[in-house]
Amino acid sequence: MFRPLAFDFGHDPQVTGVEDQFMLGPALMACPVTRPQWFGLDAVPVRDAPQTRGVLLPSGTDWVDVWDGTRHEGGRRIEAPTPVEKLPVYARAGSVVPCARPDVGPEELDVLVFPGADGSFVLYEDEGDGWDYEQGAGTRTELRWDEADGTLTVGRPVGDYPGRPVRRVVRARLVEPGRGWAEASALWLTAEQQQRQELRIPLRPSRSSSRRS
């Protein structure tokens, strides 16, 4: 799950030797702050330290700032702001990222879509307890983003498992400038609906999503 950049971007010679950035799954690139910027040893305030850090954006894809949706062209370096409350994280354009929230159960699913290219993700789920998964108990659901249509398609789940939710709400969010994570399209799915047909959630990307810095 945690991988050095060279595993995914071996075609880009710039990634060689990058030790303070890593991929988290297939979509997200985390860029932790490894030097004191606010406080040093014994909580002594650090003065005049830049509140930014250099970030290499590997080539072959655009990158989307997960916090504000700004899209950047790959194959170059940028200076990323590093406020104390936010770690610089970027998503590959076209990534589809399902998210679980600790305050709700499996009946609700959030899906973040980072526009800029077509993309997909296969969501695996099981009952979360016991050993039935070793016998194949579980589902795989393909989530597909169509950049031209501006539509997220929720495929039919393949498989089954005990305790699978009989009803689910999917909240699909398009992460782009001016919207962030604030807006979502929600769709109730019964287990019957999920098995019967694929379901399409229109997200209608704005013109700004096609711009990059």
Hey, what are 28's tokens? 């997200």
- In this model, does residue 68 exceed pLDDT 70? yes
Is the pTM higher than 0.85? yes
Query: Can you give the pLDDT at residue 174?
Result: 92
Nearest 5°: the CA angle 97, 124, 90 is: 20
Residue with tokens 């970027």: 90
| Share of residues in the chain with pLDDT > 70 (%) | 93
pLDDT tens string 42-57? 888 888 888 899 999 9
User: Between the CA atoms of 209, 96, 155 and 125, what dihedral angle is there, to the nearest 10 degrees?
Assistant: -160
Q: Who wins on pLDDT, 24 or 47?
A: 24
